[in-house]
């Protein structure tokens, strides 16, 4: 049953999807102690300013949920959509992601149906989960964090997302938009979203740390430049 709770942690979404970055020159200038090699590394860690549309066919949100404290159950959501906006102004970077909760996939159909039921996600009442965030801060030379709001099962909570920019595709065909890749991670407690009270009592006991870990891999295409 704990498996179901773990799925909620994903929404975040979203993905994915919270991978907004700022221009490298701006970041490098903010660190006067950076050496030329460090500036190059920072430049490679940031995409060009603009709006990027998440490609649902090449974006995945995985989760690992604690099972009886020492075990771990893995799964994913197969339908993710949204946009990522990168700006020279770090405070203007944003991410908006929507996940189809019914697309949950743990490779066990009976368990997936149980997770979709009112006992857990209750997809008929709450068909989607969303992640909305604006503004990022640098964790280190290549990692960033956004404090976005995750709405799942009718509950909204702030869930920090840490992400890295993996780079731009070098083999994009002429006439096609630039494509970027990102990786993100987040942690949360399923009980915070009002799901699986029975699991919380029977399987997690007094565990105080996050019991669901999320991994997000996203590919997104450039849409239009920001001003």
DSSP state of 178: P
pLDDT band at 19 (very low <50, low <70, confident <90, very high): very low
95, 80 in Cβ contact below 8 A? Answer: no
pLDDT of residue 223: 84
Q: What is the pTM of this model?
A: 0.74
Tell me the domains of the chain and their CATH numbers.
2-224 (2.40.128.110)
pLDDT of residue 188: 87
pLDDT band at 200 (very low <50, low <70, confident <90, very high): low
Nearest to 19 by CA among 130, 129, 148: 148
Minimum mean pLDDT among 66-75, 184-193, 211-220: which range? 66-75
pLDDT tens profile 43-52: 455 689 999 9
Distance CA 149, CA 153 (A): 13
pLDDT of residue 12: 38
For 170, the token pair is: 């070098």
Distance CA 189, CA 56 (A): 26
Nearest to 109 by CA among 75, 79, 72, 81: 75
Q: Which residues pair with 216 in a beta bridge?
A: 61, 184
């Amino acid at each position: 049953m704990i498996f179901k709770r773990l799925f909620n942690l994903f929404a975040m979404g979203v993905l994915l999807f919270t991978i907004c970055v700022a221009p490298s020159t701006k970041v490098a200038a903010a660190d006067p102690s950076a050496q030329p090699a460090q500036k190059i590394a920072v430049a490679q860690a940031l995409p060009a300013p603009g709006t990027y549309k998440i490609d649902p066919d090449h974006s995945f949100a995985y989760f690992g949920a604690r099972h009886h404290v020492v075990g771990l159950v893995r799964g994913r959501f197969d339908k993710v959509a949204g946009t990522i906006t990168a700006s020279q102004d770090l405070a203007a970077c944003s991410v908006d992601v929507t996940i189809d909760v019914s697309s949950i996939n743990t490779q066990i159909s009976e368990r997936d149906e149980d997770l979709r039921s009112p006992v857990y996600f209750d997809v008929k009442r709450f068909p989607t989960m969303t992640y909305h965030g604006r503004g990022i801060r640098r964790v280190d030379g290549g990692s960033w964090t956004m404090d976005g709001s995750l709405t799942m099962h009718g509950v909204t909570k702030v869930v920090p997302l840490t992400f890295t920019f993996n780079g731009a595709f070098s083999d994009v065909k002429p006439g096609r938009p630039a494509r970027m890749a990102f990786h993100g991670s987040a942690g949360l407690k399923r009980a915070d979203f009002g799901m699986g009270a029975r699991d919380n009592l029977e399987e997690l006991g007094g565990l105080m740390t996050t019991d669901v870990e999320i991994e997000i891999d996203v590919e997104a295409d450039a849409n239009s430049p920001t001003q």
